[in-house]
Every structure is written in structure tokens, then in C-alpha cells.
């Protein structure tokens, strides 16, 4: 069982930035492809970004390219999501997810492990 712990959410004004972090303590973090997803009230969970276990490739939701950046630090067992130029429609609970090896898939069903989520609210 892989435990994932997200942090970094909060309230930010439109146009602001946040950096989310997801830690996976005590596991072979470098063996897992990591993803970020989000879910707004009344909507389905949607893909945000993913990064291959080796860090060699990334995948982004088309609508978020250029504003969001995913990265990982295997030495710290942590994956990050840098979010810039935030908009009210980015308001959601953001979830970290992991799958053993594999491609940086956008499919919810491909990920075996999930964090509890962190709330991001973009509002003035």
C-alpha cells in the first residue's frame, strides 16, 4: 500500500500561483509514475498532469498546458504541481495519484493509489 500525502492547497486570488506537493514516504517512489487530478463540486474527476516514473516524460491536459507544470524529486519522494495564472475555474480538490511504472496516463482507472486531496480555491 502506497500512502500519498498532498499539501500546498489554499485560497489564492485570480492570477496568483500555488505549488502543490505530494509526498510518498517510505516507498520506492522512483518506481511510480505520478499524476495529478482534480475534482470540482458536481463534476467528474479530471486529469491535470502526469510524470513518468523516470521523470523522462510528462503529460498535461490540453487546457492547462502553459500554466501548470509537474515535476518530481525522487530524492525527496515528492512530486510537485506548480500552478500559475490561476483562474476561478481551477477551484477544485486536487488529488495526487500513483501507478507502478507505466506511461504518464491521463486515465483515472490507470492509477492504483490516491491521496486524500487538497483544496484549491481561486477567488477574489
- Upper half-sphere CA count for residue 63 (Cβ side, 13 Å): 7
Of 82, 109, 81, nearest to 95 by C-alpha is 81
pLDDT, residue 83, reads: 98
14 — phi, psi (to 5°)? -55, 135
Cβ proximity of 94 and 88 under 8 Å: no
Contact 51, 72 (CB under 8 A): yes
Query: Which pLDDT does position 25 carry in this prediction?
Result: 81
For the cut 80, the answer to whether the pLDDT of residue 29 exceeds it is yes
Q: DSSP string of 26-77?
A: TS-GGGEEEEEEEE-TTS--EEEEEE-TTSS-EEE-GGGBTTEEEEEEGGGT
pLDDT digits (tens, 9 = 90+) for 10-26: 999 999 999 999 999 87
pLDDT score recorded for residue 28: 82
Given a cut of 90, whether residue 55 has pLDDT beyond it is: no
Q: Across the strands, what pairs with 6?
A: 22
79-96 residue pLDDT tens: 999 999 999 999 999 999
Amino acid at each position: 500500500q502506497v500512502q500519498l500525502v498532498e499539501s500546498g492547497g489554499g485560497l489564492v486570488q485570480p492570477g496568483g500561483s500555488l505549488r502543490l506537493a505530494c509526498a510518498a514516504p517510505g516507498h520506492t517512489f522512483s518506481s511510480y509514475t505520478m499524476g495529478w487530478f482534480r475534482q470540482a463540486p458536481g463534476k467528474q474527476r479530471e486529469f491535470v498532469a502526469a510524470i513518468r516514473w523516470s521523470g523522462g516524460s510528462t503529460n498535461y491536459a490540453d487546457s492547462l498546458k502553459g500554466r501548470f507544470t509537474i515535476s518530481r524529486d525522487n530524492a525527496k519522494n515528492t512530486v510537485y504541481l506548480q500552478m500559475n495564472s490561476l483562474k476561478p475555474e481551477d477551484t477544485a480538490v486536487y488529488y495526487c495519484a500513483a501507478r507502478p511504472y507505466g506511461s504518464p496516463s491521463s486515465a483515472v482507472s490507470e492509477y492504483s493509489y490516491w491521496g486524500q486531496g487538497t483544496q484549491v480555491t481561486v477567488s477574489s
